[in-house]
Structure formats: structure tokens, C-alpha cells
Structure 1
């Protein structure tokens, strides 16, 4: 399609394609996919309150007598599924394309979600766990797909920006889930309406993906020639293949023994521990240790999400300015931003443990900045996988996010063991010190071992060369 054939893409600049074009449409779809899936991941906490204490929302719907242990199973069951499907999801996305993977995964998740009001009334918490496991299995493909699509559609110069905009769907979905779920539960729709609205949205959005999503710029139907050349030439300049083969063998041994990948895996695992622990425990800490009222607790618990959303833009713009002016290299940028995202929050977390009930405003400020500044990890370490292996990014992030899903299951259990009394400040100090330790050590090894160049094993002929070398050795031995 030539530039004159499409009026929706505007601002073509010489050698760079449209300022607003197909790559931005794909980024918007990724942002919405991330947001919609995160809503269905997060709303469960509020939905359980409505289902087990109907008087707080709409008493006209069934109420379930589930104890704390049963509710914890329901809360964690989503991650049982997503931890299993991350790695296969990366392979499937690479083999069959991101579009088909996302459409099927999100559509199936929506169907399972719609079944909740009909199944839970007769199957109880066990069937609810089973449904959440199935939704986790369906959505486990999300992160590998996001990173692979960013790698395929982003010119190298715009990779940080488009990647950050895609991943910011996490904050969008979180904020929507927090503010909309409660309103739906209290409305005439009651707690079943939560499933109807959000799962219905997943199904509708999967159909939009079917229409508008494209697997690669090389084969896209709605794209200008200028933009297609801009994307492919930019990727070719750093030795990325213009059109990646779907049946390329995955160099598993090389990946799993790669120092830069192991560094990425460790730092993302440590960051996941810190972020997931803080997100899950903020309300309990504010209410228990600092004796804050529930109404204020809800407001203050939302501030970190807002801070994360705003600071994500700040980090994204700063990264663009720094790299455009070539003030520092990409590797240095990754390490600086990741240090800001992990070491400064670590200091705030240590400080929080020493604050008293009379210093609630300062505690909330520390928590907000700790979680908000952590958004710098998106530019810091989160996008580092694309630097290392744009051809195998789906596989890499499947491995990374499988570990992250396991951490999201384990960290609440560890906190529950440490904090037997949520009003005991000394127990919370242990939690904050442990979390700060993960941040400090995770980033330290990233500073020492991280790289930001395409690894030899990412080459599409790497396995062919390896096979040839092995055959030569066998012939000589014979």
C-alpha cells in the first residue's frame, strides 16, 4: 500500500515513515490487550469481597461462606495456570504468530470468565479455582506475545517508547479494575456483573484483534511503503532478520547457559518479588501497622498505581531524549534506569519500617515513591530481552515470566509466615528488609553482568552452524 492510498497515517518524514502509523496501531492494541487481561487478573480481590460479604455491595445475590484459606487458593490459582503456559506460549507465538495466539487466548479467557456466575453456585470455591487456572493458562501467552510483537514492529530507535507504551497497559488495567469493579458489584448487576462486563470485554476485544492485528510489518495489509521500509531497515541495521522464520529451532542450551540471559532472569525475578509483594501487602500494612481508616486506606492504596502510570511516561520521555542525543549508550541507560527503579525504592522500603502511626502521610509518600519509581525497570531491565534476542524474545520472556508467576504465588505465602500479626510493626520491618534485599542484590548483579547487544545464539543459522560443527567433530573422531 503506497502512502497516497491511506489517509489515516500522517506526518511522513523522510526515511522514517509516518509519525502516526501502523506500528502505533499495533502498540495501541498491545496496550489494550495488556490492560484488559490485567483487569481480569486483578478484579478477583474485590469480587471475592462481594461474593463473601454481600452486605458490603449488593445483598440480592448469593453469598459464599469461604474461609481465608479457600480465598487464598482462589486468589493464587490464576498464577498456577499462567506459570505453566508462559514457556509454551512463547513457542506457540513464535511458531503460529502473535495474532492467532492473542486472539485465541483472550477469547478463551473471556469464555471461562463468563462461566463463573453459572458454575460457582453449584461448584463452590473449587470450581472457581479451576476456572481461574484455565484463565491463567489462556493468559500465560500474553507477555511472550507482547515482547515478540514489540520486537517485530518497533524500529530500533523507537523500541523503548513503543515497548513502554505497550506495557503501560498494566497500570491502565490495574486502575480500571480498582475503580470500576466495586461500582459494578454495588450496582444492580451485583458480583455476577463483574464477570459479565470484563469477560464480555475480553471476547469483544479478541474480535477487534482478529480484524486489526497484524503479525509482521513485512506482510501487513494496512501500512505505508515508507513505514514498512523504515521498520525493516532499522531492524536490519542491527542484524535482525527482515522476516523471521517461524520454524527456526530454539537454542535452548545456549539460552539457558547465557550469562546475559541469566542476569536478566535474576533481576526480573527479584523485581517481581518486590513489586508483587508491595502491591499485595500495601492495604494490609496501612490498615494494620499504621491504623489507617478503611476509606483512607482505599484512596492511599491507589496512589502507587497512579504514580507508576505517571512516572512511566517520565522515564519513557527521558530515555528518548537521552538516546536521541547519544549522551550515554543503551547499556548504560538500562543500568542507570534499573538502579533508580530498584535501589531508591529499596531505601524507601527500609525507611518505611521505622515509621510510626503518627507518620502515616510520610509512610504513604514513601510507599508511593517506592512503587512509582519501580516503573523505571520497564526501560531498565524489562526491555533488555529484546536487546539480547529479538528473534527468540517470546521464548526468553516466557522463561522470565514463568519464574515471575511462581514468585507471585510464593511471596504472599512467605509474607503470611513472617506477618502473623498485621499490627506488629517489627514483623513488617522484616518484610520490607527482605524486599529491599531482593532489590539491592538483583540490581547489583545486573550492573555487573548485563549486556545490551544481540547474542550469537539469536542468529537464525546458529543451530545450523552448531549442527555442522558437531558433524565435523564426529567425522574426525570416527
Structure 2
């Protein structure tokens, strides 16, 4: 019978071999996926909770003496609802840089912990500071959450092998839709409970703090940071599959700003991300107004219908992601072709739905309008297999910074798009004015995806690791350049 020492030696020799066999069963990388999924779920629940709570907070029929209703006008409500994004845009790029230096785990922990504590304090801020205090609090929450997507991309660069990149990334970001669906579904029940509308903020705040404790003990910035928890086989599989290191001698690789910002592939990524956000937020923020004023159908009064598009997007993302990885691993489609095919489905599909919706102007066709919106948002999930993981394809060492850059630009579009609607739609009941809005969004969808098809890439760029590129040019093999 072999001794334990001999078995360990043989195991190490096997792991150090040339093969990179995928370990079977549930691994520690899957634990990270679950934790990041829950992180994004809580982040979005804490992001959208104000959108649903503000209805109860300004309800003049409230009978709660401790937290009475607030007489906020439409301008004050708009300031409260938009203030989150003022802070959110600011920390996108710094978030990617900080995640590269201190680790994605630290950034997520700090972000969710602070944001959750502020959620617990929201009712108190409202009680003693009214809407100006809430605006300040929401700006700080936006600053906290601005680091989440860049930090998540930094973690995915360490944890997601190329053969599982689409599935792992999509499952993590599916938390965005899940958190929104859950908050929309339970907000009415919480608002009518004994604690009233404050319970909406208390529940999401407590959930965030519980997650922070779990992530403190079980989260990790990379496989090398949790050698005692992850199996040697899984660690070898991940690191040999990626074959990319994020540091040189313990120091992070300096960000090649000039090469990054002048790369046609990165510029294409910035444009397509911005185009996506313009169309996506036009659909989710303005279509309810269109349906109310033109079709005389108030979708916001129906929690089920309000959550339906998000639910459809979550389901589609869970279906499409394993399909994309299977097609890539079987070499049915090259990775670059796959990214562009799925991105085309995710942007040009909603484009067609928006054009069709522009001609639905009768109250009798409100069901058709709901169907078109649900299809448009659901199909949009295909972008998770397109531009939304392209950052990892281009530069794993700088994926967090890349996500920060593109997401910053994209969220500026999210702010501008509603302002354009306000400037054009001077009569909310005029279907022709809304048709202009839908055609603009459809045109931006079309252009954004077209230039991604032309200029987008899916191979690791030379500036990802200049030293490795230099060695490659000198004749030293660098298998990380493509997968």
C-alpha cells in the first residue's frame, strides 16, 4: 500500500505535467461564481430599492407615525433617483485600477459592506434630513458600487478558464436581473408590512452584511490566494488554461494607457457598450411612460409585468451561455466569430423590436407591446456572450480597468438618453414623437454593433503584457496570446 507521502509526490508530478484536464465535479471556482452572483444580486437590489420604495415614501395615505410620507415634487424625486448614478460613474476607472492592486475581493467587500450600512441608515437620513440627505447618501452608494463591475471583471480574469468564460461570466452577472426581479417582487409585501417602507432598505442592507461575512471567509482574489481550499488539480487547470499572470515579481503590470486607449478593438468596445446602454435604458426607463401615455396601460402598477423583462433576460442568459461555450470548445465557431454573432443577436434583435414597438399605438395592442418589450430585453442577454466579456478576451491583466473605462462611458449614455427623451417628447401622448425616440435608439443599436463586427477582436492584445510580447518576438513561446 502506498504511503501518503508517495501519493502526494505522484499527484504533484501529474499536476505539473503538460496536460490540462478539466477536473470533474463542483470546484472552488464554482463557489466564487455563487458568491459573485449573490454580490451582484444584492448590489442591484440595493440599487433599485429606491425606485420601488419612493412610491411608498411619497404615499399620502401612509399611516406610519415613525416614518411618515414625504411631500416630494417630481423634480425632487428625479434628483433622488438619479443621484446614485452621479457617484456610480466616477469610480468606474479607479475601481479597475484599485482591484488590480489590492485584489477584487477587497474591493467587493468594501463596496457591499459600506453600501449595505448606508441602506440601513436610509430611513434615518430621510427622517432627519429629508430628500437632500437622501441625495447625498445615494451619491455615496453610487461611489461604492462603481467599483463592482471592474472588480468582478478582475476576479473573472483570475478564475474563469477560457473554456468556461462565457458560462462563468454570465452566471455571475445574471445576479443583476435576479436582484431586480426579487426586489420588484417583494417590495410591495415589504412596504405593506408592519415595518412599512423602511423594511425595503433594512432587508437589502442585512442581506448585504450577511454576504460580506460569507465572502470574507470563502471569497478569494485568485486561485493562488486560497491554496489551502482549492484542490491542486483545479488550481492547475485554471492557471494553466489562462497562462496569464497579473503581476511581475509581485508588482502589478503598469496600465499601458496610450496603447489601450488607441487600440481599435478597445475603441470598438467602448462604442458598442455605450450603444447598448443607450438602447437598454431607453427601453427600461422610457417605455413604461410610452405605454402609459400612448397605450393607456400602466405597466408599473403590475409588479409581475414590471419584473417580466428582467426575468426573461435572466433565463435567456442562463440558456445561451453554456451554448456559446459548447460551440467555442467544439470549435463550431471561433471565439471572435462567436462574440460577434451573439452580440448581433443581443443588439439587432432589440433593434427590430423597438422599430416594431414604434408602430404599436393602440390600447387594444398593449399585450403586444408587453410581449415586444419582454422579447427585446430577454434577447439582450446575448450581449453577455458578446461585448460584455470581450474585455477578458483582449487583456486579462487589465480587464478591470477596461470594464471601468467602457462602463463609465456607457453610464454617461444612460444619463444622456433620458434627457434627450425629455427634450424631444414635449407631448407624452404623441406617438410620432415617441417614434423618433425609438428610431434613434434602434439606429444607435445598429451602428454600435456594426462597428463591433468590423473592428472587434477576441485575441489577447500585445499590450496586455509587454514583457511577454517582447519575449514572443524574440522567439520565446507565449501560448497566452490566443486560445
| Fold match by TM threshold 0.5 | yes
User: Cα distance 1:142–1:430, how it changes in 2: closer, same or farther (>3 A)?
Assistant: same
Q: How far apart are 1:461 and its partner, in Å?
A: 2.7
Alignment of 1:9-408 (within 5 A): 15-55=21-61, 61-220=67-226, 221-236=228-243, 240-241=244-245, 245-293=250-298, 297-355=302-360, 356-408=362-414
Per-residue deviation, residues 67-92 of structure 1 (Å, max 9, x unmatched): 11111111111111010011111111
* Structure 2 counterpart SS, 1:53: coil
Cα distance in 1 between the residues matched to 2:301 and 2:116: 33
**Residue equivalent to 2:12:** none
Q: How far apart are 1:435 and its partner, in Å?
A: 0.9
Cα distance in 2 between the residues matched to 1:291 and 1:113: 35
* Structure 1 counterpart SS, 2:428: coil
The range that moved more, 381-390 or 274-283, is: 274-283
**Residue equivalent to 1:414:** 420
Answer whether contact 2:43 2:112 (CA < 8 A) is retained. Answer: yes
Q: How far apart are 1:463 and its partner, in Å?
A: 11
Q: How far apart are 1:57 and its partner, in Å?
A: 8.8
TM-score of the superposed pair, with normalisation by structure 1: 0.90
Cα distance in 1 between the residues matched to 2:378 and 2:247: 37
User: Cα distance 1:439–1:58, how it changes in 2: closer, same or farther (>3 A)?
Assistant: farther
Per-residue deviation, residues 354-379 of structure 1 (Å, max 9, x unmatched): 11222122221111111110110010
Answer whether contact 1:54 1:63 (CA < 8 A) is retained. Answer: yes
Answer whether contact 1:148 1:393 (CA < 8 A) is retained. Answer: yes
Cα distance in 2 between the residues matched to 1:69 and 1:395: 35
The range that moved more, 269-278 or 13-22, is: 13-22
Cα distance in 1 between the residues matched to 2:469 and 2:62: 59
Answer whether contact 1:249 1:463 (CA < 8 A) is retained. Answer: no
Cα distance in 2 between the residues matched to 1:54 and 1:39: 25
Task: Count matched residues.
Answer: 455
Cα distance in 1 between the residues matched to 2:316 and 2:402: 26
Cα distance in 2 between the residues matched to 1:295 and 1:48: 13
**Residue equivalent to 1:468:** none
Cα distance in 1 between the residues matched to 2:414 and 2:192: 29
CA RMSD of aligned residues (A): 2.3
Cα distance in 1 between the residues matched to 2:274 and 2:454: 16
Cα distance in 2 between the residues matched to 1:440 and 1:147: 26
TM-score of the superposed pair, with normalisation by structure 2: 0.89
User: Cα distance 1:98–1:433, how it changes in 2: closer, same or farther (>3 A)?
Assistant: same
Q: How far apart are 1:462 and its partner, in Å?
A: 7.3
User: Cα distance 1:127–1:86, how it changes in 2: closer, same or farther (>3 A)?
Assistant: same
Q: How far apart are 1:243 and its partner, in Å?
A: 6.1
Answer whether contact 1:218 1:242 (CA < 8 A) is retained. Answer: no
Q: How far apart are 1:299 and its partner, in Å?
A: 3.2
User: Cα distance 1:223–1:18, how it changes in 2: closer, same or farther (>3 A)?
Assistant: farther
Cα distance in 2 between the residues matched to 1:125 and 1:352: 36
Cα distance in 1 between the residues matched to 2:63 and 2:242: 52
**Residue equivalent to 1:424:** 430
Cα distance in 1 between the residues matched to 2:65 and 2:416: 34
Per-residue deviation, residues 197-218 of structure 1 (Å, max 9, x unmatched): 1112112211211111011112
Q: How far apart are 1:64 and its partner, in Å?
A: 0.9
* Structure 2 counterpart SS, 1:392: helix
Cα distance in 1 between the residues matched to 2:412 and 2:357: 27
Answer whether contact 1:79 1:408 (CA < 8 A) is retained. Answer: no
Alignment gaps of 5+ in structure 1: 6-11, 466-478
* Structure 2 counterpart SS, 1:421: coil
Cα distance in 1 between the residues matched to 2:206 and 2:196: 15
Q: How far apart are 1:460 and its partner, in Å?
A: 5.3
Answer whether contact 1:18 1:226 (CA < 8 A) is retained. Answer: no
Answer whether contact 2:185 2:307 (CA < 8 A) is retained. Answer: no
* Structure 2 counterpart SS, 1:17: coil
